[in-house]
Structure 1
Amino acid sequence: MGGICGWTGCNMTIIERRALLEEMTKPIVQHDSHSVQMLFGKRSALAVIGRPNSVHTCQDQGIIVGLWGQIRFINTQFGQDSDSQNIAKSFLENWRVNGEKVLTEIAGEFTVCVLDENKNQFILAVDRMGTRSLAYQASGGHLIFSSSLDAIIRHPYTESEIDAQNMFNYIHFHMIPSPGTIYKNLRRLLPGEYLTFQHNEIKTNKYWKPSFNELKGRSFEELKFELHTILRSSVRDAIGNETVGAFLSGGTDSSTIAGILSEVTGEPASTYSIGFEANGYDEMEYARIAARHFSTRHHEYYVTPDDVVTAIPEIAAIFDQPFGNASAIPAYFCAHMAKEDGLSRILGGDGGDELFGGNERYAKQYLFSLYEYLPSFLQKKILEPWAKSASGKKLPPFIRKSYRYIEQAAIPMPARMDTYNLLIRHGFASVFTTEFLAHVDTTFPESLNNEIYHQAHTNNLINRMLAYDWQFTLADNDLPKVVKACELAQIDVAFPLISDEMVAFSSQLRPDYKVKGTKLRFFFKEALKDFLPHEIIIKQKHGFGLPFGVWLQTHPQLKALAADSLTDLKSRNIIRTDFIDKLLEQHLSEHAGYHGTMIWILMMLEQWHKSRYK
């Protein structure tokens, strides 16, 4: 997929710098034949790796500029030349005049590095939605950075000690939330964030923050026209000069992208879908409906348990830190189909739910929020004491639903969104060893949730959840899942639904245009009901979910791989052995999907360790 790596502040000969930079690029280029451009200053080095039209570099009078990605200028006076060096030169000219403010003048999916040895000032930045990761470590007068943690830890000045706290965070969140990483003292930039390193001092700031400014007086038809216009322009930008196709799950977003892709290219889009021979998991019917509707060149593949057994070690290894989203498996097989078909880029529909209100928990939390309108004395003096006394008793279904609603609704946001977490259900002491818990702060996930949830510039419940998901669900989870799956398949990926223009547009919509009562994606679906098949408009959200827990009960090789992985994990003294035994023997048979997720999380943790520490 490409990226950047480099450092400043390290005294080495030019031969030593070149050799080290080549070593750092190896994890980034290992899955594809990329263009690599290297630049060297007096005490700095930078490599930008990627397809030729994604690599933009220049060096002039002591300043090194490296830009990676699909980058464009918002203000055309700064230049829009397609030549990669001219893009970097235009950026540098703007940088000399405006400094960090230049970041507000660029759009797209990008990573930025400026090494100014004249002023001893160095800048790193990522795009507004954090589509690509950028990690760094600063100490002892030097700054080391890369799109890949595997590249950073190859530098002799970095530390690569595993961070117990972020190990805990991984098991809690099923990924490691930024700015943390699996390694102590290595951090990642947040979406829309930039870093300055000057006089041995490091600072991070936001050049962009989510902001919800509802536009008044716009008619539905005006908004509908603008949505269609932005969809077309975003897909055109995502196509670039590549041979392009689209993921097609049969959901609203992937179907929209497939249809728009056919429209803007004037020919049937190539679409790729994954199915499963498992009840409740196969969405191929809807993918076929969308494919027929838009007359796409459709390709299908049914993932088998044998495929999963083969792919698990490869998927675990492609991530530079533990990552637990099982949908990386179907994403990989889908991307692999596209690569085998001769495509160089595939378009993902990620982000539509988070921009336009499509996740089921938005409607669920709206229902819980209605409880807040009851008088406080009724909540605290009557309803909540009654719910507490009724809990655990054998009662009629309606009564059980009532007290469970009260129990949930009484929990403030955002903690209420975390109540289904398996760790919280079981209790930390029942899951983790005493020795491991002594090195972690078990309250950290709650405090981080609060921080992210409350930093959004809005007082509206729906918009707060959307902004929260832009970091937790998109930047830290869904985007890296697809990016790394495509990297393994050796194909590029782009996300038209989270273009800067689309994000700005969605931020101006009324909250009830996103979630109207309990109706999800009200505006988006109404605006596209004449474009998408009716069956797609009315279907419930599903996606590329992997039936891992179900297959774990019936497939001997998959069960053996999971059992062996968890048995080996016992020796790391992180998870209690009795919890692992109970998880494999009892819990899985009770609820395959729910407890299968925890088995997957722990299995991928052990598989990642094995890929790094053989």
Structure 2
Amino acid sequence: MSGICGWLETDCAASERRQIIERMTKPLAGFDNSPIQTVIKGDCALAIAAAPHLAHLYEVDDVLVAIYGDVRFKQTTPQANIPADNVAAVLANQWRQRGKAILANLAGEFVCCVLDRKAGELNLAIDPMGTRTFYYQPIRNGLLFATRADSILAHPQAIADINPQGIFNYFYFHMIPSPDSIYQAQKKLLPGELLTFARGQIQCEHYAQTRFNETNERPLPELKQEFLALLKSSVSEAAQNQQVGAFLSGGTDSSTLAGILTEVTGKPAKTYSIGFEAEGYDEMSYARIAARHFSTDHHEYYVTPDDVVAAIPRIASIFDQPFGNASAIPAYYCARMAKQDGLDRLLGGDGGDELFGGNTRYAKQYIFSLYERIPAWLRNGVITPLVLSLPSESGPALTKKARSYVAQATVPMPHRMETYNLLVRYGVNSVFSDEFLTQIRPEYPADLLEQTYNESRASSLINRMLAHDWKFTLADNDLPKVVQACQLANMEVAFPFLNHEMVTFSAGLTPQLKLKGTQLRYFFKEALRDFLPDEIITKQKQGFGLPFGVWLQNDKGLKEIAADSLHDLKSRHIIRDGFIDTLLNQHLHEHASYHGTMVWLLMMLEYWHKQHIATQNT
């Protein structure tokens, strides 16, 4: 594992700093024994645990810079006596001249720490897409920071009290979105956020935000040429002359990267796919179509229930927060295959859907938005009350569909996207204990969604949804899933679609090129129609979804660990005992895949407690 940790504190004795920073660094190097660089300077101590090409450390005069990740400058100004390959040196020298304004010139996937002793400031920042996680905790006369929550907990002033709201958010989102965490005292930086700590005060601001240009219409051939050139440059940049391969799910994103990787390297790309012996979950046939089309060096693995049983404790240990995305397991087995083949890095297709309009809910929400075009007096005064007065459970199918449509269409965005939320469907009061409910605000997740949705300042529905998903789907969910699963396998990962130039290009496309009526990814598919196989262009989106609920019905090993975990979870007085019993004995048999998701969430929460809380107490 890799990352940064450290603190700024005026009260710590000099003799203790070395011991404390070594304890904080252990969680960062615990999975892969990454080389560690440590700096203790005045009131500040920090460390980077990472491979040399991902660790950037430099000090000049009163400015100390530490960067973890793949980082570069959008525009580089040559300066004397600064090594061209030392981005920390360039940043340190330019910081002395321009201060925090220089951060807007950074690109890549990174976290950054700048100690400016002359200004009396500690600055923390993460990249605009939030590809890495950065935690912080205020302490007496100082600040703790790290890329892992358990690294912060190794400091003697850290507070490990669990945040009940974080647990509730976990069940609502299936992860804990920033700025919150599972710990009461810890917060996470938002994508593109800069934290400045000075004179005992914390100030947070966005140093970089992508703005949509929704009216810049350009000829399709011109856009296509620029897009294909960007694909090649972003894949080349991500490859970095390493032993590199690509995830291959058989979807448009991973297939595109596999093909481009073959082109830019001049040899068959090494591709890795996961399959499942479960109806409706296996996409291996599409992965094989892409592999044959691009003549890749293709590798496959079929994950079994036994693999899931074996991986669950390890997955729970690598995630420092409760994390409920079960597809972390197939991602891990993919990365493990690549590592066994001697690769250093995998390319992930994450971001393609969220940049170019590929998620099915975008088309669904467009259909609901059509209802808003009806004049308000007619819609609110006549149609809505009339249709909603119709019976919901009886009557003709068309009547029930009309009622369902209007019921959802009248819910304002972004809350309409959560009408099928698992927790909402169960009902908060039926899931959580009375004791737990007194400690949380059930409306908080909705407030967080609305705040993020309204921050994009986009005028079109599709771009507002994309910006929403950059935060909740990418930065809070998919990126941590892939990054942590790969780190568990000691594998680096890069995301070419999240290249700065690619994000800027996407933001400059008109809304109709992303979602044309109900046609998803309109421009993306048109631009790649002569590159990708037709079967890939027209396939329905699926991905690496794990058939946990289906397997749970018949596999003894999964049944045992699920039952044992949920039984142990009862003692924590978070979930109602009756809900757990009904879930296992009734709901799971009614709809295995749907209710299996809740079993997974409960199970992973208990495993997280056992892996992390028990460790803190030993």
TM-score (norm 2): 0.97
**Matched-pair contact (CA < 8 Å) for 1:387–1:404:** no
Correspondence 1:298 to 2:287: no
Partner in structure 2 of residue 131 of structure 1: 131
Partner in structure 2 of residue 452 of structure 1: 452
**TM-aligned CA deviation for residue 79 of structure 1:** 6.2
Partner in structure 1 of residue 423 of structure 2: 423
CA 1:78–1:591: 2 relative to 1, 3 Å: farther
Partner in structure 1 of residue 313 of structure 2: 313
Tell me, in whole angstroms, the C-alpha distance in 2 between the residues paired with 1:134 and 1:321.
13
Tell me, in whole angstroms, the C-alpha distance in 1 between the residues paired with 2:78 and 2:518.
45
Correspondence 1:535 to 2:547: no
Deviations 1:408-427 (A, max 9, x none): 10111111111101221222
How do 1:433-582 and structure 2 match up within 5 A? 433-582=433-582
**TM-aligned CA deviation for residue 83 of structure 1:** 5.8
CA 1:571–1:217: 2 relative to 1, 3 Å: closer
Correspondence 1:331 to 2:293: no
Correspondence 1:19 to 2:30: no
Tell me, in whole angstroms, the C-alpha distance in 2 between the residues paired with 1:587 and 1:259.
43
Partner in structure 1 of residue 346 of structure 2: 346
Partner in structure 1 of residue 601 of structure 2: 601
**Matched-pair contact (CA < 8 Å) for 1:5–1:152:** yes
Deviations 1:505-557 (A, max 9, x none): 00000111001111100000000010111100000111000001100111111
Deviations 1:300-350 (A, max 9, x none): 000000100111111111100100000001000000000000001111000
Q: For structure 1, which segment, 25-34 or 282-291, has the greater mean C-alpha deviation from structure 2 after superposition?
A: 25-34
**Matched-pair contact (CA < 8 Å) for 2:392–2:403:** no
**Matched-pair contact (CA < 8 Å) for 2:359–2:520:** yes
User: Which AA in structure 2 matches 1:59?
Assistant: E
**Matched-pair contact (CA < 8 Å) for 1:326–1:545:** yes
Correspondence 1:360 to 2:360: yes
User: Which AA in structure 2 matches 1:375?
Assistant: P
How do 1:279-298 and structure 2 match up within 5 A? 279-298=279-298
What's the % identity of the aligned pairs?
Answer: 56
Deviations 1:119-174 (A, max 9, x none): 21110000010000000012322011000001001101111100001111111110
The SS at the match of 1:89 is: helix
**TM-aligned CA deviation for residue 14 of structure 1:** 4.2
Partner in structure 2 of residue 244 of structure 1: 244
**TM-aligned CA deviation for residue 82 of structure 1:** 10
Tell me, in whole angstroms, the C-alpha distance in 1 between the residues paired with 2:308 and 2:429.
32
The SS at the match of 2:573 is: coil
How do 1:48-63 and structure 2 match up within 5 A? 48-63=48-63
Deviations 1:443-496 (A, max 9, x none): 101111110111102121100000000000000000000000001001100000
How do 1:19-98 and structure 2 match up within 5 A? 19-78=19-78, 86-98=86-98
Tell me, in whole angstroms, the C-alpha distance in 2 between the residues paired with 1:416 and 1:81.
56
Q: For structure 1, which segment, 371-380 or 360-369, has the greater mean C-alpha deviation from structure 2 after superposition?
A: 371-380
**TM-aligned CA deviation for residue 381 of structure 1:** 2.8
Tell me, in whole angstroms, the C-alpha distance in 1 between the residues paired with 2:444 and 2:381.
31
Q: For structure 1, which segment, 73-82 or 389-398, has the greater mean C-alpha deviation from structure 2 after superposition?
A: 73-82
Tell me, in whole angstroms, the C-alpha distance in 1 between the residues paired with 2:465 and 2:613.
38
**Matched-pair contact (CA < 8 Å) for 1:224–1:527:** yes
**Matched-pair contact (CA < 8 Å) for 1:316–1:322:** yes
The SS at the match of 2:77 is: helix
User: Which AA in structure 1 matches 2:164?
Assistant: A
The SS at the match of 2:572 is: coil
CA 1:363–1:251: 2 relative to 1, 3 Å: same
**TM-aligned CA deviation for residue 613 of structure 1:** 2.7
Q: For structure 1, which segment, 294-303 or 113-122, has the greater mean C-alpha deviation from structure 2 after superposition?
A: 113-122
**TM-aligned CA deviation for residue 400 of structure 1:** 1.4
Tell me, in whole angstroms, the C-alpha distance in 2 between the residues paired with 1:590 and 1:237.
48
**Matched-pair contact (CA < 8 Å) for 1:258–1:269:** yes
Tell me, in whole angstroms, the C-alpha distance in 2 between the residues paired with 1:438 and 1:292.
57
TM-score (norm 1): 0.98
User: Which AA in structure 2 matches 1:508?
Assistant: G
Tell me, in whole angstroms, the C-alpha distance in 1 between the residues paired with 2:523 and 2:205.
34
Tell me, in whole angstroms, the C-alpha distance in 2 between the residues paired with 1:83 and 1:611.
43
Tell me, in whole angstroms, the C-alpha distance in 2 between the residues paired with 1:407 and 1:108.
43
How do 1:96-111 and structure 2 match up within 5 A? 96-111=96-111
**TM-aligned CA deviation for residue 112 of structure 1:** 0.7
Partner in structure 2 of residue 379 of structure 1: 379
CA 1:568–1:188: 2 relative to 1, 3 Å: same
**Matched-pair contact (CA < 8 Å) for 2:161–2:183:** yes
**Matched-pair contact (CA < 8 Å) for 1:58–1:85:** no
**Matched-pair contact (CA < 8 Å) for 1:210–1:457:** no
Tell me, in whole angstroms, the C-alpha distance in 2 between the residues paired with 1:333 and 1:582.
33
Tell me, in whole angstroms, the C-alpha distance in 1 between the residues paired with 2:57 and 2:180.
29
The SS at the match of 1:600 is: helix
The SS at the match of 1:156 is: coil
**Matched-pair contact (CA < 8 Å) for 1:152–1:158:** yes
**Matched-pair contact (CA < 8 Å) for 1:55–1:84:** no
The SS at the match of 2:509 is: coil
User: Which AA in structure 2 matches 1:65?
Assistant: V
CA 1:525–1:335: 2 relative to 1, 3 Å: same
How do 1:151-170 and structure 2 match up within 5 A? 151-170=151-170
**TM-aligned CA deviation for residue 73 of structure 1:** 1.0
User: Which AA in structure 1 matches 2:514?
Assistant: K
**TM-aligned CA deviation for residue 208 of structure 1:** 1.1
Tell me, in whole angstroms, the C-alpha distance in 1 between the residues paired with 2:80 and 2:446.
44
**TM-aligned CA deviation for residue 9 of structure 1:** 1.6
Correspondence 1:177 to 2:177: yes
CA 1:473–1:599: 2 relative to 1, 3 Å: same
Tell me, in whole angstroms, the C-alpha distance in 2 between the residues paired with 1:60 and 1:304.
53
Correspondence 1:118 to 2:118: yes
Partner in structure 2 of residue 263 of structure 1: 263
**TM-aligned CA deviation for residue 217 of structure 1:** 4.3
Tell me, in whole angstroms, the C-alpha distance in 2 between the residues paired with 1:381 and 1:63.
64
CA 1:93–1:345: 2 relative to 1, 3 Å: same
CA 1:612–1:84: 2 relative to 1, 3 Å: farther
Q: For structure 1, which segment, 524-533 or 588-597, has the greater mean C-alpha deviation from structure 2 after superposition?
A: 588-597
Tell me, in whole angstroms, the C-alpha distance in 2 between the residues paired with 1:80 and 1:611.
50
**Matched-pair contact (CA < 8 Å) for 1:133–1:148:** yes
Tell me, in whole angstroms, the C-alpha distance in 1 between the residues paired with 2:129 and 2:208.
10
Tell me, in whole angstroms, the C-alpha distance in 2 between the residues paired with 1:187 and 1:241.
36
User: Which AA in structure 1 matches 2:456?
Assistant: A
The SS at the match of 1:571 is: helix
**TM-aligned CA deviation for residue 227 of structure 1:** 0.5
Gapped runs of 5+ residues in structure 2? none
**TM-aligned CA deviation for residue 15 of structure 1:** 4.1
Tell me, in whole angstroms, the C-alpha distance in 2 between the residues paired with 1:455 and 1:12.
40
Tell me, in whole angstroms, the C-alpha distance in 2 between the residues paired with 1:122 and 1:393.
60
CA 1:535–1:174: 2 relative to 1, 3 Å: same
**Matched-pair contact (CA < 8 Å) for 1:39–1:59:** no
Tell me, in whole angstroms, the C-alpha distance in 1 between the residues paired with 2:511 and 2:352.
15
**Matched-pair contact (CA < 8 Å) for 2:83–2:89:** no
Q: For structure 1, which segment, 46-55 or 274-283, has the greater mean C-alpha deviation from structure 2 after superposition?
A: 46-55
Tell me, in whole angstroms, the C-alpha distance in 1 between the residues paired with 2:585 and 2:174.
22
**TM-aligned CA deviation for residue 591 of structure 1:** 1.2
Partner in structure 1 of residue 591 of structure 2: 591
**TM-aligned CA deviation for residue 269 of structure 1:** 0.3
